[in-house]
């Protein structure tokens, strides 16, 4: 149970960062931390104690205890999508910096046009 | 096992807090890299080699992009001003944390204990995937055969994001 709680604490750190930071780069970092905690949660839920990795030998014999491959497949998809959204967010941050000369979201909010 | 994982996740939490409160954006990015590579170690311990490989590659690419962005602009963190808005956002964040804690407390009861997971949904995947798909790596079998449309959607998202990044970088913009 401890690992689930710690994983949730990591998520809370990310939420706190997104809500309170004013720097755009810090907001992106906090979002990344939230994503990491969710990947970790899914991998933790699919773990079977003393299970083996879901890779068979060449004789195609399934071991007695295998870790669940379904959450792993989903996390694999999610990791790649997280990379895409992160790259997009960072590009937007760079464009905003080039236009307004600051990463401060409050000052960007005030400077219209 | 659980103790080792707890230690690693605990150090990841410390690094995350350091990343959020760092005075220099470059050190914030390095602390975030610590969190990402700690996640890789967790994946290896949780018997997920595919995830570990993909996470190493993705984390490295993210770090390179972030360092490029920060070196291209400014690496100074804004100084903290305590005004009404700062107090309001901090209060709101605390409220959110309490709310999420409440829902987590309700949800954790329905989870199985760590390590007690039973293969209810993926029983057929585990027993039949090797013959049906011809892939000895079950994760790849699920990803490319049973959930092929998911992977197609993932590739679509990736290429859409690439086109978006190119478009945003190339835009001229109003002066």
ipTM of this predicted complex?
0.90
- Select from A50, A49, A47 the least CA-distant residue to A69: A47
Contact map slice: B 33-72 vs A, CB within 8 A: 35-36, 39, 42-43, 46-51, 54-55, 58, 61-62, 65-66, 69-70, 72
Q: Residues A59-92: pLDDT tens digits?
A: 777 777 888 888 899 999 999 999 999 999 999 9
CB-CB under 8 Å, B165 with A51: no
Q: Residues B120-152: pLDDT tens digits?
A: 777 888 887 778 888 888 888 888 888 889 899
Residue B119 predicted with pLDDT over 70: yes
Residue B107 predicted with pLDDT over 80: yes
Residue A50 pLDDT grade (very low, low, confident, very high; cuts 50, 70, 90): confident
Residue B81 predicted with pLDDT over 80: no
CB-CB under 8 Å, A10 with B19: no
* B100: nearest CA partner in chain A: A12
* This prediction's pTM: 0.90
Cα(A79)–Cα(B48) distance, integer angstroms: 13
CB-CB under 8 Å, A26 with B137: no
Q: Would you list the domain boundaries of chain A?
A: 7-48+68-110
- Select from B160, B119, B162, B161 the least CA-distant residue to B142: B119
Question: CATH topology for A7-48+68-110?
Answer: Helix Hairpins (1.10.287)
CB-CB under 8 Å, B78 with A84: no
Cα(A32)–Cα(B174) distance, integer angstroms: 31
Average pLDDT over residues A39-43: 92
State residue A64 phi and psi, 5-degree precision: -60, -50
């Amino acid at each position: 149970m401890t690992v689930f709680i710690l994983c949730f604490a990591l998520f809370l750190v990310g939420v706190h960062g997104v809500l309170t930071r004013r720097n755009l780069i810090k907001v992106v970092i906090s979002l990344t931390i939230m994503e990491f905690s969710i990947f970790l949660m899914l991998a933790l839920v699919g773990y079977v104690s003393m299970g083996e990795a879901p890779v068979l030998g060449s004789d195609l014999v399934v071991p007695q205890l295998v870790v669940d491959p379904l959450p792993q497949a989903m996390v694999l998809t999610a990791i790649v999508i997280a990379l895409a959204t992160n790259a997009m967010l960072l590009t937007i941050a760079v464009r905003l910096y080039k236009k307004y000369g600051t990463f401060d979201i409050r000052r960007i909010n005030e400077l219209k046009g | 096992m659980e103790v080792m994982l707890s230690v690693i996740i605990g150090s990841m939490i410390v690094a995350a807090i350091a990343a959020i409160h760092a005075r220099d954006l470059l050190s914030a990015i390095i602390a975030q890299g610590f969190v990402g590579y700690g996640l890789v170690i967790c994946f290896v311990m949780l018997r997920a080699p595919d995830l570990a490989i993909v996470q190493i590659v993705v984390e490295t690419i993210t770090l390179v992009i972030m360092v490029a962005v920060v070196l291209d602009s400014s690496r100074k963190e804004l100084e903290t001003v305590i005004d009404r808005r700062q107090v309001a956002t901090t209060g709101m964040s605390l409220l959110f944390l309490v709310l999420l804690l409440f829902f987590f407390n309700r949800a954790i009861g329905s989870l199985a204990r760590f390590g007690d997971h039973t293969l209810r949904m993926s029983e057929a995947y585990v027993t039949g995937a090797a013959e049906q798909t011809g892939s000895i790596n079950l994760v790849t079998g699920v990803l490319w055969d049973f959930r092929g449309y998911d992977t197609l959607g993932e590739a679509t998202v990736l290429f859409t994001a690439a086109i978006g990044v190119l478009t945003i970088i190339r835009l001229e913009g109003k002066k």
